[in-house]
């Protein structure tokens, strides 16, 4: 019996493998074994778990940190979040290439760990200057905003002509200013009230620099530790897939615990307000530091694994390290460009939209739109008829995969903001969790359900009824749409506080996790089987590019659910709920429609795949 754990709660592109017959020592005579595998796997497992602990702990905080501490608008917050996660999936292509040609995997992992740990510490420092100061601009005049109360009792006020006026958003998106006697002193038409935050240039600089450090460090760390795991096994060793499965379990375990603990320290739980944002980021930095220590002081256990490639010059290391540090300002500028993005005027059309895209958007879309048809044209000219048809099937599936992850990755942006604003976070009335901790649901469901799905797929395969890859992709797309519809259905039962019960959000994550288990385990494996052998590396690059594009577009989609906030809090919860409901309903039906379309295409795609399963 093969048991397969999926790591995709954390990594959309990874390939889990089977564990056959459970984990045991192979023959009782092999020395230095860890559950029947090379003992070095234990160190790599722990290293990966701690690195992912840091990364996913930080990511659980990021959207809320941008919106509540720096008081960025929803448009800026979700755009910056999407750009960050996009680069996280793009930079490993460069980090892997540098390791293969010059550094070797071990040096790359150590350097990446240092960069990421420093990045988390810089994020920690970015919170020490205190939150941004809220203000509002009304018809061209600036007013300071004061905040009273906490949680659901939090209220915002401005002072006009010596009178303190409460800010209250209305259902028609206008804003009322309420006097102390409860009467409306002034009504501001929709669009006439603009909320902002006065941010320290120094701490904003630290924020963006920290994100840039994490992006560059991740590019060195992420692809190369997996390479070292592969080096533990000789060619043809049947334990390889099981070893990768154990290794990837570290990803799930690291993300599972960090998405509980980092938000707990940062913003607290229930009546406890936490220690502050710095504490959450410091814990992430600590996890990353442990990851580096495990590698740096390995006691020689990793000797002979991940070393510099044979014949690679040793005098390039310093240049690569210096060049990597110098690239940080470039990443910084990409983020700054994202933050200054202004939507094109209504009626600009598709051309106007693309011409006004941030630089990162132009790079992402341009690369994807050129590479996909370019590779197909090359395949048609250079490959056989069968090879071209298989490549065509691969490109179709890559495109649908991009749509899936675009919608699935709302978890870290719009769904986190929805949890913060329109979800009752009470757990059976016993205690309450924070919005950042809701991201834990996905990792939990993946760990719990992956073995069951593996058993199900294996049982269906033995009976010859396992669905084809296109059908699995189609079901996954429909599943992600049904998850959003489930949450939208839950909004029909909100009370006067305009908040859904936590379990409606948990139900969405359950359905999304089931959908994920239909698509993620077959992704990279499918690419390697369908690609022409001499360009399989290039196709891998296109695969990861598609995931990076999905992350970026996920931020763009989340911007559709932007709502007006003052001091990091929405001014009208009904407007907020209506906005999220409309956005989630739209993307749900788009996902279901595309899923049905892929099911219809599954038969011709099966023919184009020529027996690939």
The model's pLDDT over 96-108, given as tens digits with 9 standing for 90+, comes to: 889 888 898 899 9
Percent of the chain with pLDDT over 70: 93
Spatial distance between the Cα atoms of 247 and 212, rounded to a whole number of angstroms: 27
**What 3-state class would DSSP assign to 158?**
strand
Q: What is the mean pLDDT of residues 425-430?
A: 90
Please tell me the predicted confidence (pLDDT) of residue 399: 93
Q: Flag whether pLDDT at 1 surpasses 80.
A: no
Please tell me the predicted confidence (pLDDT) of residue 29: 36
Burial of 272 (0-12, 13-18, 19+ CB in 10 A): exposed
pLDDT, greater one: 2 or 444:
444
**pLDDT 10s digits, 279-325:** 999 999 999 999 999 988 888 888 888 888 888 888 889 999 999 99
Q: Flag whether pLDDT at 53 surpasses 50.
A: yes
**pLDDT 10s digits, 483-501:** 999 999 999 999 999 999 9
CATH fold label, 362-412+456-544+567-613? Growth Hormone; Chain: A; (1.20.1250)
pTM (2 d.p.): 0.89
**Residue 298, phi then psi, degrees to nearest 5:** -90, 0
Please tell me the predicted confidence (pLDDT) of residue 318: 92
Please tell me the predicted confidence (pLDDT) of residue 13: 52
Kindly indicate the confidence band of residue 8, based on its pLDDT and cuts at 50, 70 and 90: very low
Please tell me the predicted confidence (pLDDT) of residue 190: 86
Q: Is 578 left (phi over 0), alpha (psi -120 to 50) or beta?
A: alpha
Please tell me the predicted confidence (pLDDT) of residue 12: 66
What residues does 165 pair with on adjacent strands?
A: 158
DSSP 31: S
Long-range pairs for 484-490 at CB < 8 Å and ≥24 separation? 484/407, 484/508, 484/584, 484/585, 484/587, 484/588, 484/591, 485/584, 485/585, 485/588, 485/592, 486/511, 487/584, 488/581, 488/584, 488/585, 488/588
Alpha-helix residue ranges (DSSP H) falling in 65-104: 74-98
Percent of the chain with pLDDT over 90: 53
Please tell me the predicted confidence (pLDDT) of residue 5: 34
Token pair for residue 367?
Answer: 């690369």
Kindly indicate the confidence band of residue 152, based on its pLDDT and cuts at 50, 70 and 90: low
Q: What is the mean pLDDT of residues 31-37?
A: 73
Residue position matching structure tokens 């969405």: 508
Q: What is the mean pLDDT of residues 407-417?
A: 94
**pLDDT 10s digits, 533-558:** 787 777 878 888 899 999 999 999 99
∠ CA 199-203-204, nearest 5°, is 65
DSSP 294-359: HHHT-TTTTTTSSPPPTT--GGGHHHHHHHHHHTHHHHHHHHHHHHT--PPPTT-HHHHHHHTS-H
Residues of the chain with CATH 1.20.1250.20: 362-412+456-544+567-613
Please tell me the predicted confidence (pLDDT) of residue 271: 74
**pLDDT 10s digits, 189-248:** 888 888 899 999 999 999 999 999 999 999 999 888 888 888 888 877 777 767 877 787
Q: Which of 6-15, 30-39, 365-374 has the lowest mean pLDDT?
A: 6-15
The shares of helix, strand and coil residues in the chain, as percent rounded to the nearest 5, are 65, 10, 25
Q: Which of 57-66, 149-158, 371-380, 457-466 has the lowest mean pLDDT?
A: 149-158
Please tell me the predicted confidence (pLDDT) of residue 313: 84
Q: Flag whether pLDDT at 577 surpasses 50.
A: yes
**pLDDT 10s digits, 239-280:** 776 787 778 777 888 888 999 999 999 998 877 888 999 999
What is the number of other CB atoms lying within 10 angstroms of the CB of residue 124? 22
Spatial distance between the Cα atoms of 601 and 165, rounded to a whole number of angstroms: 59
pLDDT, greater one: 522 or 326:
326
H-helix or E-strand containing 367? helix 359-382
CA dihedral 226, 227, 229, 233 (to 10 degrees): 150
Please tell me the predicted confidence (pLDDT) of residue 7: 42
């Amino acid at each position: 019996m093969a048991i397969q754990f999926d790591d995709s709660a954390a990594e959309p592109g990874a390939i889990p493998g089977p564990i056959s017959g459970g984990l045991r020592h192979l023959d009782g005579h092999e020395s230095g074994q860890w559950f029947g595998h090379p003992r070095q796997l234990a160190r790599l497992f722990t290293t990966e778990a701690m690195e992912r602990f840091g990364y996913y702990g930080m990511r659980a905080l990021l959207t809320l940190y941008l919106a509540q501490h720096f008081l960025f608008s929803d448009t800026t917050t979700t755009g910056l979040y999407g750009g960050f996660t996009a680069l996280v999936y793009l930079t490993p292509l460069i980090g892997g290439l540098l390791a293969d040609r010059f550094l070797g995997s071990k040096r790359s992992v150590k350097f990446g760990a240092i960069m990421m740990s420093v990045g988390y510490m810089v994020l920690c420092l970015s919170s020490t200057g205190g939150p941004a100061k809220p203000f509002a601009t009304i018809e061209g005049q600036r007013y300071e905003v004061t905040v009273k109360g906490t949680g659901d009792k939090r209220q915002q006020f401005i002072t006009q002509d010596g009178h303190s006026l409460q800010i209250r958003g209305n259902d028609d998106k206008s804003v009322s200013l309420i006097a102390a006697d409860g009467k409306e002193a002034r009504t501001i038409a929709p669009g006439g009230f603009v909320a902002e935050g006065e941010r320290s240039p120094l701490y904003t600089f630290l924020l963006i620099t920290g994100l840039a450090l994490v992006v560059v460090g991740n590019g060195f760390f992420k692809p190369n530790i997996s390479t070292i795991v592969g080096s533990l096994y000789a060619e043809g060793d049947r334990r390889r897939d099981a070893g990768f499965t154990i290794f990837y379990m570290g990803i799930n375990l690291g993300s599972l615990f960090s998405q509980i603990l980092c938000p707990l320290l940062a913003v607290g739980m229930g009546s406890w307000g936490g220690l502050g944002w710095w504490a959450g980021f410091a814990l992430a930095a600590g996890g990353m530091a442990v990851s580096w220590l495990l590698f740096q002081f390995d006691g020689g256990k990793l000797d002979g694994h991940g070393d510099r490639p044979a014949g690679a010059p040793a005098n390039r290391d310093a240049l690569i390290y210096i060049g990597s540090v110098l690239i940080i300002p470039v990443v910084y500028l990409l983020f700054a460009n994202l933050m200054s993005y202004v939507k094109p005027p209504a009626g600009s059309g598709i051309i106007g939209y693309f011409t006004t895209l941030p630089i990162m958007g132009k790079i992402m879309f341009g690369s994807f739109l050129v590479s996909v048809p370019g590779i197909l044209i090359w395949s048609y000219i250079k490959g056989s008829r069968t090879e071209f048809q298989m490549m065509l099937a691969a490109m179709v599936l890559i495109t649908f995969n991009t749509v899936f992850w675009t919608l699935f990755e709302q978890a870290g942006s719009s769904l986190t903001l929805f949890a913060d604003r329109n979800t009752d976070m009470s757990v059976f009335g016993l205690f309450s969790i924070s919005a950042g901790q809701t991201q834990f649901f996905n990792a939990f469901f993946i760990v719990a359900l992956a073995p069951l799905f593996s058993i199900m797929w294996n049982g269906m395969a033995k009976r010859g009824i396992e669905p084809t890859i296109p059908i699995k992709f189609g079901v996954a797309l429909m599943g992600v749409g049904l998850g959003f519809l489930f949450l939208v259905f839950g909004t029909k039962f909100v009370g006067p506080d305009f908040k859904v019960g936590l379990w409606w959000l948990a139900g969405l994550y359950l359905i999304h996790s089931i959908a994920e288990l239909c698509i993620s385990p077959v992704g990279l494996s499918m690419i390697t089987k369908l690609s022409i052998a001499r360009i399989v590396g290039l196709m891998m690059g296109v695969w990861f590019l598609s995931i990076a594009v999905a992350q970026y577009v996920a931020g763009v989609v989340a911007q559709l659910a932007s709502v007006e906030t003052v001091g990091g809090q929405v001014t009208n919860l009904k407007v907020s709920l209506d906005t999220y409901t409309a956005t989630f309903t739209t993307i749900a039906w788009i996902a279901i429609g595309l899923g049905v379309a892929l099911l219809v295409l599954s038969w011709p795609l099966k023919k184009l795949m020529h027996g690939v399963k």
